[in-house]
């Protein structure tokens, strides 16, 4: 059994206790962070995990469309496969009244929410450098003071379809530009790909 597959424990109480992505719901509960969003949902695998923290509001945003842009569809799924992912998330919506599903580009949906609305936002959408830079700037204002902006794929590599992950340089430039180095935490290199977190103080 790898460390990543070990059963969950209740040891996660603060942000820097998080070692693996599956521990995020425990930490959300311990901090009573209940207004959540995930940007980039696909078939709802991680969304399902976030819902275990019993959020008050869970906003799920995804394009669910093969528009020919690799950053928007880095698994190169066809529209039929994408539609199946969307239907799976809709079924989650039927089971969880807190879940609000938005189908569209992150940049189109962000203006629907007021600044400081969210306790926690998780970005796992367009992993290109440009895509991550855009999402960081779009969603940072939507996090309340004391809340956390976070995301996946903190790793330097190409995905099997040739997309170069730009998460690491984009996040580092962002925290440098906004003087957020002390509020930054990541699970890399223990977890690969890692998860990154920035607390808004
Ligand atoms: C890696 S998958 C998300 C996986 C999911 N977070 C999980 O771990 O279960 C990336 C998703 O982001 C979506 N996406 C990519 N760029 C987007 C954009 N600009 N706006 C909205 N969704 C986007 C894609 O449609 C895809 O479903």
Tens digits of residue pLDDT in 11-34: 788 999 999 999 999 999 999 999
DSSP symbol at 158: B
Strand order across the 118-123 sheet: 99-103, 57-62, 35-39, 118-123, 143-154, 194-199, 184-186
> Which of ligand 1's atoms lies nearest the C-alpha of 106?
20
Q: Residue 6 phi/psi, 5° resolution?
A: -65, 150
Contact predicate 92/44, CB 8 Å: yes
Q: Which CATH number fits domain 34-199: 3.40.50.150, 3.40.50.12780, 3.30.413.10, 3.40.640.10?
A: 3.40.50.150
- What is the residue-wise DSSP string for 55-86? -SEEEEEE-----S-GGG-TT---HHHHHHHH
Ligand 1 neighbourhood includes 124 CB (under 6 angstroms):
yes
Ligand 1 neighbourhood includes 60 CB (under 6 angstroms):
no
Domain ranges of the chain: 34-199
What burial class does residue 128 get, using C-beta atoms within 10 Å of its C-beta: 0-12 exposed, 13-18 middle, 19+ buried? buried
How many Å lie between the centroid of ligand 1 and the Cα of residue 197?
18
Ligand 1 neighbourhood includes 40 CB (under 6 angstroms):
yes
Dihedral of CA atoms 144, 89, 108, 151 in degrees, nearest 10, equals 50
Predicted confidence (pLDDT) at residue 5 exceeds the cutoff of 60: no
Output the pLDDT for position 9.
Answer: 56
Distance from C-alpha of 8 to C-alpha of 26, rounded to nearest angstrom: 9
Average pLDDT (81-87) is: 98
Hey, what are 197's tokens?
């977190």
Q: What is the longest distance spanned by two Cα atoms in the chain? A: 44
> Which of ligand 1's atoms lies nearest the C-alpha of 40?
12
How many Å lie between the centroid of ligand 1 and the Cα of residue 130?
15
For the stretch 126-163, pLDDT in tens is 999 999 999 999 999 999 999 999 999 999 999 998 99
Average pLDDT (72-88) is: 97
Averaged confidence pLDDT in the chain: 95
What burial class does residue 66 get, using C-beta atoms within 10 Å of its C-beta: 0-12 exposed, 13-18 middle, 19+ buried? middle
């Amino acid at each position: 059994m790898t460390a990543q597959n070990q059963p969950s424990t209740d040891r996660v109480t603060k942000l820097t206790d998080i070692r693996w992505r599956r521990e995020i719901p425990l930490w959300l509960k311990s901090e009573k962070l209940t207004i959540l969003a995930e940007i980039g949902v696909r078939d709802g695998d991680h969304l399902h995990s976030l819902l275990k923290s019993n959020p008050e509001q869970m906003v799920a945003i995804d394009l669910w469309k093969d528009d020919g842009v690799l950053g928007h569809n880095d698994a190169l799924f066809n529209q039929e496969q994408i539609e199946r992912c969307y239907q799976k998330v809709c079924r989650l919506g039927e089971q969880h009244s807190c879940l609000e599903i938005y189908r569209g580009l992150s940049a189109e949906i962000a203006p629907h929410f007021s600044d400081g609305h969210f306790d926690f936002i998780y970005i796992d959408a367009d992993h290109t450098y440009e895509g991550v830079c855009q999402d960081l700037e779009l969603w940072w204002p939507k996090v309340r003071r004391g809340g956390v902006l976070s995301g996946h794929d903190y790793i330097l590599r190409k995905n099997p379809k040739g997309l170069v992950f730009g998460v690491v340089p984009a996040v580092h430039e962002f925290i440098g530009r906004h003087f957020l180095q002390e509020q930054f935490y990541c699970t890399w290199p223990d977890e690969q790909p890692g998860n990154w977190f920035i607390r808004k103080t």
